[in-house]
Structure 1
Amino acid sequence: MNVRHGARAYARMGIESGVMSASPHKLIMMLFDGGIGFIRAARLHMQGGKVAAKGEAISKAIDVVGGLSSALDHERGGELAGRLEALYDYISDLLLKANLENSVDRLDEAERLLADIASAWREIGEPVAEHANG
């Protein structure tokens, strides 16, 4: 039991130090990865009939999507930031409905959309970050 507790504490410390040393681009990628992970966990809980765990995972995914939305820079991002905000709102709505309706299809759509945005962020984020620093 103590070994598990120590392993969890070590893992938490690793995550915390990863967050502390991450670039803004990397932090956003961590949010995307976390959100997708919570959606996948929700799907497994849904399929296993674990209602409380499903709800908790979906709630965490919604929090992550909210964090992504709040990180948008509307001044510099203009129309694109507005469109992303609308898409994040749509994803949150999908997640809420997935929870209420036990809909794997809605979870799948939310995950696909989040993964698509993450993929685009991966492709354009690093060069932009490197250009800004270089």
Structure 2
Amino acid sequence: MLDFGNGYQAYKNTSVDARAAGADIHKLVLMLFDGFMDELSRVEGHIQARRFDRKAESIDKLVKILGGLEASLDQDNGGEVAANMQRLYQFCGNTLLQVSLQNDLSQLTLVREIMTNLQQGWQGLAERIS
């Protein structure tokens, strides 16, 4: 039997790589947010289905995305805004680790709320710059 999953994953990775190659920093950050929100939904599904090994993989991806978001902050020129966003990213990372340990879906809601608000802020910024 053919494994179409691997082919689809390769296509998806190529598509993301192509979009990233031509994107400015704001678009890259928005791509990270989109990926984060998708993966966050997967974590919820993995917990509900009791697929704890896959949940752990998804939590790891989320933490890496948060690292990418944090790395995109301009700490030298961003002042208090960059520092506050860094704290929010770190809070979300710590909360995700607690979700992983406790399989607590209620904590995912808080992370989703924070990240949705930040994503909307970045979308507004990108619209003003365009």
TM-score, normalised relative to structure 2: 0.91
Question: How many angstroms apart in 2 are the aligned matches of 1:2 and 1:98?
Answer: 32
Which residue does 2:16 correspond to in 1?
A: 15
Shift, 1:2, TM fit: 6.6
| Match status 1:88 vs 2:89 | yes
Question: How many angstroms apart in 2 are the aligned matches of 1:103 and 1:7?
Answer: 31
Question: How many angstroms apart in 1 are the aligned matches of 2:124 and 2:44?
Answer: 27
Which residue does 1:70 correspond to in 2?
A: 71
SS in structure 2 at match of 1:72: coil
Question: How many angstroms apart in 1 are the aligned matches of 2:30 and 2:118?
Answer: 10
Question: How many angstroms apart in 1 are the aligned matches of 2:99 and 2:66?
Answer: 15
Which residue does 1:24 correspond to in 2?
A: 25
Which residue does 1:42 correspond to in 2?
A: 43
**Structure 1 stretches of 5 or more lacking a match?**
none
**Structure 2 stretches of 5 or more lacking a match?**
none
Q: Deviations over 1:3-26 (max 9, x none)?
A: 655444333322211111112111
1:76-115 matches, cutoff 5 A: 76-115=77-116
| Match status 1:58 vs 2:59 | yes
Question: How many angstroms apart in 2 are the aligned matches of 1:81 and 1:6?
Answer: 38
Question: One-letter code of the match for 1:73?
Answer: D
Shift, 1:83, TM fit: 0.6
SS in structure 1 at match of 2:73: coil
- Percent identity between the two aligned chains: 28
Shift, 1:76, TM fit: 1.3
Give 1 or 2: higher helix fraction. 1
SS in structure 2 at match of 1:76: coil
Bigger Rg over Cα: 1
| Count of aligned pairs between the two proteins | 129
TM-score, normalised relative to structure 1: 0.88
Distance 1:3 1:35, change over 3 A: closer
Question: How many angstroms apart in 2 are the aligned matches of 1:48 and 1:63?
Answer: 23
Question: How many angstroms apart in 2 are the aligned matches of 1:110 and 1:4?
Answer: 29
